[in-house]
Amino acid sequence: MKKRVEPLAAEVGSKIVLPCDVTDKASCEAAIAQAVKQFGRIDRAGYARYLGQLLHVHLALETQLCRLAAEHRVFGLIVREHHMRTPDLLADLEVLGQCLSKHPPLPATGLFRERIDGLAADAPVGLVGTLYVLEGSTNGGRYIAPAVRRALGLIERGGIASGTEYLDPHGDRQQDRWSFFKASLDVLTLSPAECDLIVAVASDAFRGVHDIFQDLTHPPHAHHPYVSHHAPGPTAAAEPAMTPARTRVRDSVSVCIRRPAEKEVRTTHQP
């Protein structure tokens, strides 16, 4: 784990890397305390902006997952209704008096969505990596949620109307659902090329979330929401410039996609 995390942190310019066992409450609380010391506290407006950007990402991902669960053997085996986080995000925004229209996608969010749609079209199994990262975040999210509720003056308990349904969507079933998800991955039959792609996409998902945080805290063009570089017309906005780290991720994912994969028999599997 260390050999993967430290290079990733260096590439995205992170100044803090903390050890954390997401299954241990004390370990998570210690990491949260260190993060607060380093970065300070969040307010309601900042929290709502974060949720708004993640909602765009989940809408893109879950639209594809719902389709793939009915068409692709891999997703039919692993995708469950409780992986759909869009309702949680909408509910949290409502608690904060917000809605999606108030949060147009930032450049990093738009790029993240495009990568999701591109993978769905060209190499859908790669989206297992995206799902792994976003679903895995609920392990730490369960411990972050109470701290967020205390800091923002939300209701003390978690669950419905708490404002933290996205962070802690599973409640007491967190460990069981995460264990089941990992067990579902273990029984998949994947080629080496597919495994490489999933790992590359998972790393890219971590970077994608980091880039969203960067846009939220250091917006390059505060008054110019993201416009897809696939938009038609000669006056379409240019794609935001890629950082060296993002270019390397794009290239590594492209290599995995281009690598000849073992042929597989596609079967319809209803979730």
Report the percent of the chain where pLDDT is more than 70: 66
Q: What is the pLDDT of residue 26?
A: 74
Dump pLDDT digits (tens) for 140-186.
999 999 999 999 999 988 899 999 999 999 999 999 999 999 999 99
* 35-40: average pLDDT: 56
- Tens of pLDDT, residue by residue over 2-36, are 665 666 556 556 666 667 665 666 766 676 566 55
CA of 35: how far to CAs of 1, 22, 139, 144, 262, in Å?
20, 15, 17, 11, 43
List the single range of 39-48, 149-158, 193-202 with lowest mean pLDDT: 39-48
- The residue-averaged pLDDT of 63-77 equals 95
State the pTM of this model: 0.73
What per-residue confidence (pLDDT) applies to 232?
33
Of 117, 109, 110, the residue nearest 67 (C-alpha) = 117
Separation CA 197–CA 201 (nearest Å): 6
- Higher confidence at residue 137 or residue 250? 137
- Per DSSP, helices labelled H in the chain are 2-11, 25-39, 44-71, 73-78, 86-95, 107-122, 127-152, 174-186, 192-217, 244-258
Q: Which of 54-58, 108-112, 158-162 has the lowest mean pLDDT?
A: 158-162
The pLDDT of residue 254 is 43
- Cβ partners under 8 Å of residue 232, min gap 6: none
